[in-house]
Amino acid sequence: MTQPYSKDLRERALARAEAGETIRRIARALAISPSCVSKWRKLKRETGTLSPVQIGGHKKPVLSGEPGTWLSERVRGGPFTLRGLVAELAERGVKTDLRAVWVFVRAQELSFKKNAAGERAGSGRRRA
């Protein structure tokens, strides 16, 4: 994983910017991206510090807690589609995507299986 630029480099870039040098010139001189300089200026203005934010770490799943409990009960309650579940979660104020719902349903072993009458017809070559 990449490491954030040092605080020293950030301070040198901002010192040059405060002296009136252009962002592109600073970036070229320090061999960094021009967007880094503008983002560091914004970070300094908003937080008052140039310390890098945390990279990585654990992010709590969206479908845990109350939304996860509701989703488990909803899936056990009857037929569903993943897109339908995403729409129902959106109505409840939970922003998620199809993949997250699929992973949740799969991990809980709650996938809906069609009954024999709802199966696809087999290929003609395989019939007796």
Q: Enter the pTM of the model.
A: 0.48
Q: What are 80's two structure tokens? A: 């569903």
Using one digit for the tens of pLDDT, what is the confidence trace for 1-42? 578 899 999 999 999 999 999 999 999 999 999 999 999 999
pLDDT value, residue 111: 65
Q: Which tens digits make up the pLDDT trace of 39-83?
A: 999 999 999 999 887 888 877 778 888 888 998 888 888 788 889
Residues 6+ apart with CB under 8 A from 82: 98, 101, 102, 105
Residue 117 has pLDDT above 60, yes or no: no
